[in-house]
Amino acid sequence: MERNLPHSRSVKRTVVVPGFDPQTQPIVPLSDILLPLNNATMELDFIQKAFSSSVDWQVEPVFTESFQADSLDLIGIVQAAVFVPLVQRSDGLHLLFTRRASHLYDHAGQICFPGGRIESTDQDAVAAALRETQEEIGVTPDYIQLIGTQPGFLTSTRFTMKPVIGYVRPGFTIRPDLTEVAEVFEVPLSFLMDPANHFLHRAHLPDGGHRFYFSMPWKNYFIWGATAALIRNFYHFLSAAQSKL
């Protein structure tokens, strides 16, 4: 990314914080042994080929029900879309993330992909993801090459999150909306596609219940929750494509 030029939108919302600290919850051992992807699988040409092919694959088994969001009765559930931005760097593809502003109502301070609610004026989830990307980080659709979509995910906060995968062409400029975005950063795809960096947690909730979630800590960034689940699912898809294409 060439430079950061801040701009702003006017909406401010009240903060709602989680009922637990996601960084201190115990890690649950995973029963399956998964391998990191081959370098060739994490190249843009292969990813585009995978999405243009019919790949038989299964969603992350820990969240099979959550990944049925596309077929749910959506009464009382907020539909949202996120853009999963692939960026080419000298050491390979990276994924671009935002850290949400600390004053936001939904998921304040968390690491996310650009995205938000699907509005009535949006033609579909893809249109919503592109609009939100431009509004949040200033990347316009003419710099985005769409690749495909993946199964929607039902979050614990009753959002359905539809991931839209795309490549951000060179020459783009980041202009974060400081009312929503505190920071924009990138993580190497090779790190995120190595299951050795995926941790499953069991959170103890204030009401005595529990919740499972994945995390993928990178440097001083704690990627967790729905964002980590989408990354884990992306791994499963590419891993299946790697074995079949």
pLDDT tens digits for range 80-89: 999 999 999 9
Structure tokens at 68: 């049925």
Report how far residue 41's alpha carbon sits from residue 105's, in angstroms, rounded to the nearest whole number: 37
Q: What is the pLDDT at residue 40?
A: 98
Q: How far apart are the first and last CA of the chain?
A: 32
Higher pLDDT, 20 or 141: 141
Report how far residue 43's alpha carbon sits from residue 28's, in angstroms, rounded to the nearest whole number: 31
Instruction: Outline where DSSP puts E strands in 72-209.
Output: 78-89, 92-100, 111-112, 115-117, 144-149, 153-154, 159-168, 181-188, 199-204
Q: What is the DSSP letter of 37?
A: P
Question: How far are the Cα atoms of 26, 131, 150 from residue 153, in angstroms, in the given order?
Answer: 23, 20, 9
**For residue 160, pLDDT beyond 80:** yes
Report how far residue 160's alpha carbon sits from residue 118's, in angstroms, rounded to the nearest whole number: 10
Report field, pTM of the whole predicted structure over 0.95 = no
Q: Where are the domains of the chain?
A: 66-244
Query: What mean pLDDT is predicted for residues 126-151?
Result: 98
Q: In CATH, which superfamily holds the domain spanning 66-244?
A: Nucleoside Triphosphate Pyrophosphohydrolase (3.90.79.10)
The string of pLDDT tens digits covering residues 114-137 is 999 999 999 999 999 999 999 999
Q: What is the pLDDT at residue 106?
A: 53
What's the mean pLDDT when you consider all of the chain? 89
Q: How confident is the model at residue 16 (pLDDT cuts 50, 70, 90)?
A: very low
